[in-house]
């Protein structure tokens, strides 16, 4: 992910009147760190704004050294997660979050990104940076999510591809009216 992608996102957000400066998120990260230290979790399922934090936490449990305050007595609070599911997601703006996603190449945690081509809030291009603005709830999508998560319980060598319940749409150009 290049800096230009983040700069483009910031400019677009400013044009839309969205917040581009975030304060207090570090406290939230440390509170989530403490939760992770007490319990064990298999994965993260996050929607919309939650994907920004969920993706960051998923990245930190895999590479905690990139944000030393995340460590507890020099050790990670939780082992890497088995999966992440991100619906209508994006990477947030704080510089540290951007740095985490640019450092050291791709992450090894399997993730599923659900990007809505009709989403009026999160543009597909933003979602693709983390990888419609609602969690699909029709039965075929619920089955898909369940099959995806069950597949992650199997050893990596036994996992099979879980096809999307709907075919991908054609690429669509983004036309800004701002």
Q: Domain limits of the chain?
A: 3-135, 137-166
pTM of the model: 0.61
- State residue 171's pLDDT score: 47
Give pLDDT, residue 21. 59
- pLDDT, tens digit (0-9, with 9 covering 90-100), for 54-64: 988 998 999 89
End-to-end CA distance of the chain: 25
């Amino acid at each position: 992910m290049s800096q230009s992608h983040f700069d483009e996102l910031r400019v677009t957000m400013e044009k839309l009147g969205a917040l581009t400066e975030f304060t207090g998120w570090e406290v939230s990260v440390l509170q989530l760190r403490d939760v992770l230290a007490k319990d064990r979790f298999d994965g993260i399922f996050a929607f919309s704004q939650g994907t920004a934090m969920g993706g960051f936490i998923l990245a930190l449990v895999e590479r905690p050294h990139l944000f030393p305050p995340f460590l507890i007595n020099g050790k990670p609070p939780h082992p890497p997660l088995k999966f992440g599911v991100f619906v209508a997601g994006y990477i947030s703006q704080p510089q540290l979050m951007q740095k985490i996603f640019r450092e050291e190449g791709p992450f090894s945690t399997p993730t599923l990104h659900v990007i809505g081509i009709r989403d009026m809030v999160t543009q597909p291009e933003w979602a693709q940076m983390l990888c419609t603005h609602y969690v699909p709830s029709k039965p075929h999508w619920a089955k898909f999510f369940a099959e995806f998560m069950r597949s992650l319980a199997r050893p990596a060598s036994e996992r099979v591809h879980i096809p999307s319940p709907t075919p991908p749409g054609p690429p669509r150009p983004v036309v800004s009216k701002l």
